[in-house]
Chain A
Amino acid sequence: MAKVRVLVAKPGLDGHDRGAKVVARALRDAGFEVIYTGLRQTPEQIAEAALQEDVNVVAMSILSGAHPHLFPKVVNLLREKGMNDVLIIGGGVIPETDIPALKEAGIAEVFTPGTPTGDIVEFIKANVK
């Protein structure tokens, strides 16, 4: 039986990952297999881990403000590796004004602080390939 596999990743230099862990736990409770790789991952590490784990979803969280640079980079690396069906979503402290550009770059949805975790689960269920 197929199971949805999600890589929860923290690109960049954030010092804590409380939010990512809360999301990881919520996704686990939704019946997904969640691969969590810890803090301070480079885009290259995230894309390679996604490939080795053959995930359906890459969920990135970032608090530092480096999202305009790091999120699109991960999207491009995944495409280069032939991972064209992966649903890529982002979250964290991200200004509303940055969201259109991120979506343009291939981030399917961006979840900002205060989002109920159930919304993320529903979004994945509705959009995963």
Chain B
Amino acid sequence: MDIVEELLKGNRLALSRAITAIENETDEAMDIMKKLYPHTGHAFVLGITGPPGAGKSTLTDKLARAYREQGKTVGIIAIDPTSPFTGGAILGDRIRMNGLTMDEGVFIRSMGTRGSLGGLSHKTADAVKAMDAFGKDIIFVETVGVGQSEVDIVKAADTTMVVLIPGMGDDIQAIKAGILEIGDVFTINKADHDGADKLVREMNMMLDLDGLMTDWRPPIQKVIASQNEGITETIENIEKHFKYISENGILTKRRTERSKNEMLDVLHSRIGSYITNKLVETGKMDEYVEKIKARETDPYTVVSHVMKDMLK
């Protein structure tokens, strides 16, 4: 099977195989990405992040259904944590999305973080591109359940939605740096639980104090995802934000920044592995390590040497 050709024709197995190649970083993957790249840049990428158990998967399911009713095709990338000890993972986000499995306009892929700590996996951005080239109109990226500082999603998404739930802490939490700074749209899920209104007040207070705020004030919507309440309003908020960033040049700026990051990521990883391989092949790796261990030299001096040597 020619993966690229079949993927572009709409073959779902080809899309699936492409993402596997990307995740496993096979030799084929870079070739696939090169060929898919010209076909990307059309999808709207929505990031969904928030703490574990906030209802991100349930909300993704409901939002995806709403977009399907508008006739849009949907890709979903759902990320769960990989064990740092065994490398294994339980990817359980599909449990909340079973109703979407048989809809041909939806493609769901679960990914493990595989060592990445920013709430995504290293390969999420490329998996998004594969779905984009496949022709999906909207791609949801659901992060792992995050704590306070896993903010990589902003680099991957056009619009970032932060999902919060009542009862997670007092108002000092609301003025801390981190995930609360990245929300373009806020959703307070499980709004039938105690403390939802208090959380809305605290979030508003946080936004009132935001000195960096542009013309866009992130809306805060109360939702009960399991009962489909507040979904229409949430979609409206997402659309409003997309319209805002499209009309103000922010989307172009974000995508330019993303292109730069993509290039730098590839550059760093390829130069890194090129130099590492050379060091191993020539036996210099062990030599340097021994010298550093014996305190005859230091890592900084070694790296200066290596760079002078190899990057002429």
Contacts and interface: CB of A to CB of B under 8 A. Distances in A.
A22 to B, nearest CB: 12
A29 B85 CA distance: 9
B140 interface: no
B87 A25 contact: no
A2 B123 CA distance: 13
A117 interface: no
Interface residues of B, number: 30
Interface string B95-119: 1001001100001111010100000
Contact of A81 (B13, B87, B101, B107): B13
Interface of B is mostly: mixed
Contacts of A53: 16, 91, 109-110
Given A37-B94, A82-B13, A54 B19 contact: yes
A45 B102 contact: yes
B109 A52 contact: yes
A33 B16 contact: no
Interface in A8-38: 24-25, 27-38
B277 interface: no
Contacts of A109: none
A129 interface: no
B91 A29 contact: no
A37 B86 CA distance: 22
B55 to A, nearest CB: 16
Nearest to B26: A2
A112 interface: no
A83 interface: yes
Closest 6 CB pairs of A and B: A28-B88, A38-B95, A54-B16, A31-B87, A54-B20, A2-B24
